[in-house]
A and B are shown apart, each in its own frame.
Chain A
């Protein structure tokens, strides 16, 4: 019995020792690890728990040589606060501070200084490092200078809706609200240590985090494929079109048709994310994923390829173009109402003939036409890494009437988002396969490892031969028709098509003089590296997209050829190719 007694005592003593050890370890984490904030407080670097703990991952663009450059980062500076109770002479204090901080607001400062019952009033945010140190060195009574960190967007307006912003919500929670900031919130938000209010709750909670911090495997920076120089060029081009034609909206996407990586995308009007509080909130949304449009004649490329793929037409097939046809008591006409007689398929694209597109749609039949367009992903979300994406509306392709398919063949009666459209059209530049458009290529974890993101395998929709036949037709469009053949690049094969669509009103009827212009092109046609989609909504004083978007597209093409040193794919001696 005594032996049993001794044994039990030893077990009890051991148990007590073990529990004590665990408590000491936990106490260490609670009291000592979180004790770092007291060190920061001593150095005037701590204002409140939210500011001291504010830390967020960066979003990077990627230069063509692979170097990352920040699109969203953290800036460090100072904030200036006053204690109105101890402030001696507000006017003199203001003068002294304003000499170091030129943007210091006089009226706001005096208003804050008048609140003598308030011991703490912030009078300036985002003060630069030099200015903050200079004010601190003045040692003004009643003035505190403290460290502050805030979100900064070095690219400014560039891809603002896609990069996004962070802002407080009604619950005072700072988080990503738009674009990539919102989509990758769980990766970018580097959470604080989060101390519980109850000491004993903190002591016994989250013990697993003591052993393994799961956050380090999740938190990091987002690396995108957006190329900053290409982005700037696209921004300049869109802004020019917007200003020149007084359009309601102008947008563009430049994408790699093989991989879906987006090099540049933007919409005008836009806003500066560094100063979004004074921006028009109507421009915060991203129409590239959140709005759908009837794109018009650029869809003829898909109709043509569908017909070639199904074998109902060949490049040598001819038809009798009468200028107008009547379908289900509706008239479908060419843009100029003129008849062309018996012409080959090439002319449907070269002259953008609605009657010709309807001819192909009729040959295809309802079911095949519906299947091709749905297989291209039209009417579904692309899965791009941007929030609030909607899908297109192609419900007309469920109709039993011929007229719906005929109008869809030239891009009217169905509406798609710009991202959905470039995904479908890029099949022509990728041997008949569609890919998932995306911005982020990888996540750079805090450990330094970059985790690549996978965006799925390409999906074969058309046979490569059908896509290539359409590509050749589109190269002829650029070489002979666009701009009267003046924009042809002898050493580079470029395929492209314009689209001029009417805009429907709320009653479903099309406006007489309002148009939606679109342009899609890719190059080199022999092995496409770039696909470009441009659009402008309701340009003033001009009717056709060939007038508004041809030069911007060709300028972008020349820019990309030079910037990426693309070698010629035609028009040179074989020895130099």
Chain B
């Protein structure tokens, strides 16, 4: 009679085997939960960033347009300024009735803190 060798596991080993079959499933569930939370958080932050940036981009565009308009106005004023200088330089003062001074006298410049009635 052939004796069958039956594998009998000890109770401790049985408990361990039961635990081993339960643990991967629990771990898998927790991992899924964590990854899900991370993915959800990333998606939410991405949407929030998009909204914020589009608002900022619109504001930036508006400000940039304002700056460009101001630069344009300044450029026009500067062009007028150069034209005015050129016109002044090309004007003969004698033709406008100005004459060379007959006598020039120099005075000492007042110190910065000194009182003076005349302002240059």
User: Do A and B belong to a common assembly?
Assistant: yes
Chain A interfacial positions (CB closer than 8 Å to B): 2, 6, 9, 13, 16-17, 20-21, 24, 27-28, 31-33, 35-36, 39-40, 43, 45, 69-70, 73-77, 129, 149, 152, 154-156, 158, 228-229, 232-233, 236, 491, 565, 567-568, 572, 575-577
Interface string of B43-56 (1 = CB under 8 A from A): 00110011001100
B112: Cβ under 8 A from any A Cβ: no
13 example contacts (A-B, Cβ-Cβ < 8 A) are as follows A17-B38, A27-B46, A28-B49, A28-B50, A40-B61, A70-B78, A75-B71, A75-B75, A149-B68, A156-B82, A158-B82, A233-B89, A572-B106
Indicate which residue in A21, A43, A70 contacts B75 across the interface (CB closer than 8 Å).
A70
> How far, in whole Å, are A17 and B38 apart by their CA atoms in the complex?
7
Give the residues from 1 to 50 in chain B that come closer than 8 angstroms, CB to CB, to chain A: 20, 23, 27, 31, 34-35, 38-39, 42, 45-46, 49-50
B110: Cβ under 8 A from any A Cβ: no
Indicate which residue in A32, A236, A575 contacts B54 across the interface (CB closer than 8 Å).
A32
B96: Cβ under 8 A from any A Cβ: no
Contact partners of B69 in chain A: CB under 8 A:
76, 129
B113: Cβ under 8 A from any A Cβ: no
A567 touches B109 (CB 8 A): yes
Least CB distance, B54 to chain A, in whole angstroms: 7
Task: From known contacts A39-B58, A40-B61, A236-B89, infer whether A491 and B104 are also in contact, taking CB-CB under 8 Å.
Answer: yes
Least CB distance, B36 to chain A, in whole angstroms: 11
Indicate which residue in B61, B79, B104, B108 contacts A154 across the interface (CB closer than 8 Å).
B79
B99: Cβ under 8 A from any A Cβ: no
> How far, in whole Å, are A36 and B64 apart by their CA atoms in the complex?
12
Contact partners of B50 in chain A: CB under 8 A:
28, 31-32
Contact partners of A28 in chain B: CB under 8 A:
46, 49-50, 53
Chain B, residue nearest A240 (CB): B90
For chain B, the count of residues having a C-beta within 8 Å of the partner chain is 40
B72 touches A155 (CB 8 A): no
Contact partners of A9 in chain B: CB under 8 A:
27, 31
> How far, in whole Å, are A28 and B31 apart by their CA atoms in the complex?
27
B82 touches A236 (CB 8 A): no
Contact partners of B104 in chain A: CB under 8 A:
491
A154 touches B82 (CB 8 A): yes
B63: Cβ under 8 A from any A Cβ: no
> How far, in whole Å, are A2 and B108 apart by their CA atoms in the complex?
97
Contact partners of B57 in chain A: CB under 8 A:
35-36, 39
Contact partners of B81 in chain A: CB under 8 A:
69, 154, 228
> How far, in whole Å, are A565 and B120 apart by their CA atoms in the complex?
10
Contact partners of B89 in chain A: CB under 8 A:
232-233, 236
B53 touches A33 (CB 8 A): yes
Least CB distance, A27 to chain B, in whole angstroms: 7
B85: Cβ under 8 A from any A Cβ: yes
Contact partners of A27 in chain B: CB under 8 A:
46
Contact partners of A575 in chain B: CB under 8 A:
108
B72 touches A576 (CB 8 A): no
Least CB distance, A13 to chain B, in whole angstroms: 6
Chain A, residue nearest B108 (CB): A576
> How far, in whole Å, are A184 and B22 apart by their CA atoms in the complex?
71
Most chain A beta carbons < 10 A, residue from B20, B57, B90, B104: B57
Contact partners of A77 in chain B: CB under 8 A:
72
Give the residues from 90 to 120 in chain B that come closer than 8 angstroms, CB to CB, to chain A: 90, 104, 106-109, 120
Chain B, residue nearest A40 (CB): B61
> How far, in whole Å, are A500 and B102 apart by their CA atoms in the complex?
35
